[in-house]
Amino acid sequence: MADLIRDLEHKVRDLEQTARKTGQNLEAALAPLREEVAKLRHDESEREAGLAAPEAPAGGERWERVGLARAPGRPTALDYVELLTEDFTQLHGDRLYGDDPALLGGPAVWQGTPVMLLLQQKGRDTKTKIKRRFGMSNPEGYRKAQRLMDLADKFRLPVVALIDTPGAYPGIEAEERGQGWAIAESIQRMSRLRVPAVCAVIGEGGSGGALAIGVGNRVLIMENAWYSVISPEACASIIWKDASKAPLAAEALRLTAPDLLELGIVEEVIPEPEGGAHLDKQAAAEALGEAVSRHLRELSGLSAEELLAGRAERFRSTGVFEER
């Protein structure tokens, strides 16, 4: 407990220092960290006084996989681009408000195939993670994605989307600029692509922030990634009013790669090196590259009408329900 509190307090200090130096508004990231530190300190005091309730179970395999999806050094989208593509040309701006450093994209050659890339980029260290808001996009990011989808259709470039975000950015400025509307428009635009679209969840796939670029003909997921309507911490905060019960929420959400394959949410689980992708980036990249390239080849012979119909059928048939 003490180590966790120290780690969180260190993160808070780093973010506060960065906010002072840059003038950037980081309250959306700071507020939950401060709240969690205060709660942990309160729980620690009660535990020392013998008043605390028993701790929630540490969680099973699902929570361990969530940890691996967030592991320091896990390959980012740009890491995979550097290892798997050539001639990547990043295109900037949404032609309305500005450029979003959390969502990148542009044309590239993916193992010999010209494609249009959509990338959610978390950053590789504290400085770049703050710059990219930990992969959480503002509305201009999703509007940039729509602009790139228009170009993909115009130039007949298959779309490859690498998903890695805990969710869309929750700051007030994002809401003021139409966050929900931008996500909805991105989902709608991607559903109408007349070119093949292959999406791969490489780390975290949180809520509409991930789905905004996740409407593919094929959706793949790395072995230790997760994909869910809500993060375990947020779910635990809503259900139990206690973010520390995130391991229980992870079990209930069934958000891991094997779960999603069983439920038909994804077409394929991409294997990772033993211990996680962060231990061998090259091997992880080779597995991702092979899987995406294979699905691109399988889709390449389909007409625009077949791609549209297949994508629509894929998402309409997702999920199971029972009429009573």
**CATH number, domain at 290?**
3.90.226.10
Q: Does residue 107 sit within a domain?
A: yes
Residue 91 sits in the same domain as residue 9: no
Q: What is the pLDDT of residues 69-107, one digit of tens each?
A: 999 899 999 999 999 999 999 999 999 999 999 999 999
Q: What is the pLDDT of residues 172-213, one digit of tens each?
A: 889 999 999 999 999 999 999 999 999 999 999 998 999 999
pLDDT above 70 (res 25):
no
Residue 302 sits in the same domain as residue 251: yes
Residue 177 sits in the same domain as residue 77: yes
Residue 26 sits in the same domain as residue 91: no
Residue 307 sits in the same domain as residue 171: yes
What is the distance between the alpha carbons of residues 63 and 256, in angstroms, rounded to a whole number? 9
Q: Does residue 229 sit within a domain?
A: yes
Q: Does residue 212 sit within a domain?
A: yes
What is the distance between the alpha carbons of residues 104 and 80, in angstroms, rounded to a whole number? 13
What is the pLDDT confidence band of residue 134, given thresholds at 50, 70 and 90?
A: confident
Residue 36 sits in the same domain as residue 96: no
Residue 93 sits in the same domain as residue 223: yes
* Three-class DSSP category at 230: coil
What are the two backbone dihedrals, phi and then psi, of residue 114, each rounded to the nearest 5 degrees? -65, 130
Residue 28 sits in the same domain as residue 72: no
Q: Does residue 245 sit within a domain?
A: yes
Instruction: State how many domains the chain has.
Output: 2
Q: What is the pLDDT of residues 249-272, one digit of tens each?
A: 999 999 999 999 999 999 999 999
30 burial level (CB within 10 Å; 0-12, 13-18, 19+): middle
Strands 113-120 and 159-165: parallel
311: containing domain = 66-316
Residue 24 sits in the same domain as residue 142: no
| Higher pLDDT, residue 205 or 127 | 205
Q: Tell which of 55, 81, 96 closes a domain.
A: 55
What is the distance between the alpha carbons of residues 107 and 87, in angstroms, rounded to a whole number? 8
Q: Does residue 60 sit within a domain?
A: no
CA 55 vs. chain centroid, Å, equals: 29
pLDDT above 50 (res 57):
no
**pLDDT given at position 68:** 93
Which parts of 161-244 fold into alpha helices (H)? 172-176, 179-191, 207-211, 232-239
Paired tokens of 183: 């996500």
Q: Does residue 323 sit within a domain?
A: no
pLDDT above 70 (res 300):
yes
Q: Does residue 266 sit within a domain?
A: yes
Residue 74 sits in the same domain as residue 38: no
175 burial level (CB within 10 Å; 0-12, 13-18, 19+): middle
Residue 37 sits in the same domain as residue 73: no
Residue 17 sits in the same domain as residue 139: no
Q: Does residue 224 sit within a domain?
A: yes
